[in-house]
Amino acid sequence: MIAASTTVVAVIGDPVRHSLSPVMHNAAFAHAGLDWAMVALPVRAGDGAAAVGAARTMGLAGLAVTMPHKADVAAAADHRDATVQRLGVANTVVFDGGAATAYTTDGDGLVDAMVSAGHDPAGARVLIVGAGGAARSIVEAMTRRGARAVTVANRTLSRAEECAACAVADASVSAIGLDDMGDVVAEVD
């Protein structure tokens, strides 16, 4: 049950109705005995920065951010972690003392899950399909954590090239269109 004392966080996106984030987070909050709740808030494209201000005003503790708001939210935050500063996208905002701090956890979250499952990308050849905000973070994390080669495949080649440019370490990084993926799939680890 939500009460006046409940700490509220939200996931924002357009669309966001399909998001399972509230279900997963609310189950985790209940399991941990926390008086917290997550709600899904539809925020129209272009209104991500306004949503940060509104969330701050309403006293939300934080935001989980999905498309198309990752860049707008990163720009609207008062503070940004180093990865957000490099990439210009964020998927998490934490409000503390009225200040909004933006983080991006997509890349390290994926790599950590892979490592936990026994698939360390260090030295590996990796294919990333898609070039949205999460993909930028994944390219950054994969290269920072030792992937030998990263290929970004996307419907729009220019977007794949922009995403590939997010590499931060000495790795072979390339961008291709989706039609060229067949040759690469056979070569990835």
pLDDT at 171: 84
29 within a domain of the structure (yes/no) = yes
CATH at 77? 3.40.50.10860
Q: In the predicted model, what is the mean pLDDT of the chain?
A: 95
Predicted TM-score of the model (pTM): 0.85
Q: pLDDT tens digit string along 21-77?
A: 999 999 999 999 999 999 999 999 999 999 999 999 999 999 999 999 999 999 999
pLDDT band at 127 (very low <50, low <70, confident <90, very high): very high
Residues 70 and 131 grouped into a single domain: no
pLDDT of 112 above 80: yes
CATH number at residue 118: 3.40.50.720
The 3-class secondary structure across the chain, one letter per residue, is CCCCCCEEEEEEECCCCCCCHHHHHHHHHHHCCCCEEEEEEECCCCCHHHHHHHHHHHCCCEEEECCCCHHHHHHHCCEECHHHHHHCCCCEEEEECCEEEEECCHHHHHHHHHHHCCCCCCCCEEEEECCCHHHHHHHHHHHHCCCCEEEEEECCHHHHHHHHCCCCCCCEEEEEEHHHHHHHHCCCC
Mean pLDDT throughout 116-131? Answer: 96
Which residue, among 96, 95, 100, has the nearest Cα to 84 in the 3D structure?
Answer: 100
> Is 83:107 a contact under the CB 8 Å cutoff?
yes
Same domain, 11 and 99: yes
**Is there a single domain that holds both residue 60 and residue 88?**
yes
In a domain, 137, yes or no: yes
Residues identified as active-site: 70
* End-of-domain residue from the set 82, 104, 126: 104
Name the residue among 98, 83, 110 with its Cα closest to residue 52.
98
At residue 91, does pLDDT exceed 80? yes
User: What pLDDT score does 133 carry?
Assistant: 76
12 plus 100 within the same structural domain = yes
pLDDT per residue over 148-178, tens digit each?
999 999 999 999 999 999 888 788 999 999 9
The domain in which residue 82 lies consists of 7-104
Place of tokens 């409940």: 6
Q: What pLDDT does 101 receive?
A: 98
Nearest Cα to Cα of residue 121 among 139, 146, 140: 146
Exposure b/e, 135-172, CB count within 10 A at least 16 = b: bbbbbbbbbbbebbbbbbbbeebebbbbbbebbbeebe
Residue 122 has pLDDT above 90, yes or no: yes
Omega before residue 42 within 30° of 0, cis:
no
